[in-house]
Amino acid sequence: MWSRSKTADLTEGRAPALRFPAPVSAWPASHPEGRIPQAQTASRFRRIPVYRQKYIFLLPGLLVLIAVILFPLLFTIRVSFSSWDVYNPGLNNAGGAMYARMWDDARYWEALRRLSVLSISTVLIQYVLGFALALLVWREIAARRFFRVLFLVPMMTTPVVMSVIWRTIFHESLGPLNPILDAIGIGAQPWLSQPGFAFAAVMVVEIWQWTPFMFLLLLAGLLSLPSEPFLAAKVDGAGPIRTFLSVTFPMMGAISVGAILIRAIEASKIMETVYVLTSGGPGTSTETVSYYIYIRGMRDFQIGYSAALSLTYLIIMAVALTLIAKALMRLMVRGAQA
């Protein structure tokens, strides 16, 4: 049935349209199966529930999904409407008190603003560096395989362990970085004890650790590009910059958006680096939302309040990332295609 319709559409010069088989009751009498006795046809309809068995196959996965994702989410929503803390145990009904309190919590909103700056700047730098490295080893260069593996090493290390190592590197008395800076005439810097430097230190660790992720995705994208457009560009006499701007970059638009979004989602949850490197200080200069929620929830044991903070954060991030995704699609995919 489907193939006949497709042929018909093609003959009429239109794009093929999907057509579903007509219901059994509409079959002409000449239809080979139209000769099925009425009772048999009815039994066919009765067999429909048999197809519903497919849902049974979905059930285990569905249950796991409910248990792993939906239940904690629903539970968090419930907890956020309670005032569960160290002195009010359990799920009472506090209405929207936790959300009202959050509204006046300047430290939370400041942490959110700081996180936005941190995420956007680090992800963009990671994208630029990752793209550059991917372009470097995409071409035929010596020891290409070695460099591909080497660039992935930071990503394969445990974030907490790497943060501890970086903390040692940045240590202003005992770490190796300041003596090096001294030796080259730049001078020692207050890496973890001045707000601006501490923020920069967190950025450096994030960029170092996650640029390889960008590199990996973008390299995979580059390797999957067809060779014809590049040959055409070469024939047209395009140089490397022109080829990059007019061929490579536009064709990498979709995968770039994917890579940026995945990293943005991860970057919005930054916690280990801040925890180990600065504990949110000096002052509150490197405190991010995740770390603040950790303090409220785990240290201060304000379970209800931290649930409200988490949910609000989830909603804000979902909306923000959706908007970012749309903007990036328009800019990097549709814009490039136009």
Partner 1 sequence: MTKGTALKRLFLATTVLACATGLASAGDYSKYGIKEDVPGICSYAAIDAKDYSGRTLNVITHAIPVIGEPTALHAQQFQELTGATVNVVHVPFGDLFQRVMIPFQTQQAAYDVLFYASLWIGDFNPYLAEVPAEYQQVSGMQAVTATYRGIASWGDRMLQYTMDGDRHYLKYRADVFDNADAQALFKEKTGRDLTVPATWEEYNEVAAVFTNTDWDGDGAPNFGTAEVTKRDDLMFSAFISRVAPYAKHPDVKGGFFFDLETMTPLVNTPGWVRGLELFVEAQASMPPGGTSFGLGDEIFSFGGGQTLMSYSWDDAFIQAMQEDSPIRNKVAAAMLPGAREVWNRETGAWDSFEDPNRVAYVTWGWTSAVAKDSKNQDMAFDFLCFFANEGNTESDLQIGRFGINPYRDSHFDPAFYETELGWDKAVAETYTTTLKGIDTAPNQVFDLRVPGVGEFMSSLAAGVARAQSGEQTAQAALDGVAAEWNAIVERIGADRVREAYANVVALEDR
Task: Give which of 105, 149, 148 is closest to 306, Cα–Cα.
Answer: 105
72 preceded by a cis bond (ω within 30 of 0): no
Q: Answer yes or no: are the C-beta atoms of 65 and 51 closer than 8 Å.
A: no
Burial call 165-177: b when 16+ CB within 10 Å, e when fewer: ebbebbeeeebeb
Which of 14-22, 112-120, 213-221, 300-308 is the region at the interface with partner 1 (rule: CB under 8 A)? 300-308
CB of 115 to partner 1, least distance (A): 17
In this structure, what token pair is assigned to residue 144? 């290409």
Binding to partner 1 by residue 283, rule CB under 8 A? yes
Q: Answer yes or no: are the C-beta atoms of 200 and 208 closer than 8 Å.
A: no
Q: Which positions from 56 through 85 interact with partner 1, judged by CB under 8 A?
A: 83, 85
Which of 38-46, 125-133, 139-147, 171-179 is the region at the interface with partner 1 (rule: CB under 8 A)? 171-179
- The residue length of the chain stands at 338
Half-sphere exposure of 95 (CA within 13 A, CB side): 3
Smaller CB separation from partner 1, 24 or 188: 188
Binding to partner 1 by residue 278, rule CB under 8 A? yes
Binding to partner 1 by residue 5, rule CB under 8 A? no
Query: Whole-angstrom Cα distance, residue 271 to residue 118?
Result: 12
Binding to partner 1 by residue 279, rule CB under 8 A? yes
Q: Which positions from 186 through 205 interact with partner 1, judged by CB under 8 A?
A: 188, 190-193, 195, 198
CB of 171 to partner 1, least distance (A): 6
Binding to partner 1 by residue 288, rule CB under 8 A? no
Query: Whole-angstrom Cα distance, residue 136 to residue 103?
Result: 48
Interface with partner 1 (CB under 8 A), residue from 36, 136, 254, 281: 281
The set of residues, in sequence order, having a beta carbon less than 8 Å from that of 173 and lying 6+ positions away, is none
Binding to partner 1 by residue 7, rule CB under 8 A? no
CB of 282 to partner 1, least distance (A): 4
The DSSP 8-state label assigned to residue 34 in this structure reads G
Binding to partner 1 by residue 258, rule CB under 8 A? no
- Chain positions contacting partner 1, by CB under 8 A: 83, 85-87, 89-90, 107, 171-174, 178, 188, 190-193, 195, 198, 278-285, 295, 297-302
